[in-house]
Amino acid sequence: MNRSITRMLFTALFFCLLQTTGFAQTNEETAARACLENYMSGVGDRVEKAFHPSATMKYIDISNGEFKDVPIADYIARVKANTTPQKRSISILALNMEGTAANAKIKIETDTVIMYDYMNMLKINGEWKIVSKIFSRTNK
């Protein structure tokens, strides 16, 4: 085989292997994403499963600029009470993990708002849980 063709094939193979190993999800990342998927589902029981019971939710109310600190149980109760799912697009923009800690950035967009959720997560008793949520909301 021609030497330059062989070199090109090996180079292509090298970059293919580099890409597949660099982008493969670990079991931990898959488990953390599963926790976030529970939250993103909008289904009350799944949302509840995503959060640690002592989790917090904090934000700035865009209508008056006030700092809000909401017990996660109150947030979950609102999700469970919402029987009419809202049309929205939601995606994980970033997930950073180190050992038993992780944080994620999630974008939620509806016809009227864009929100960015920042979730802090811990692996507690072998299971990923959201321990704090902060978010930013912008009206369209």
Cβ neighbourhood burial of 128 (10 Å; 0-12, 13-18, 19+): buried
CB 7 within 8 A of CB 76: no
pTM: 0.80
Q: Where are the beta strands (DSSP E) in the chain?
A: 51-60, 67-71, 89-98, 101-109, 113-124, 127-139
Q: What is the largest CA-CA distance in the chain?
A: 72
pLDDT digits (tens, 9 = 90+) for 52-96: 999 999 999 999 999 999 999 999 999 999 888 779 999 999 999
Question: Across all residues in the chain, what is the average pLDDT?
Answer: 88
Query: What are the structural domains of the chain?
Result: 26-139 (3.10.450.50)
Q: pLDDT per residue over 35-45, tens digit each?
A: 999 999 999 99
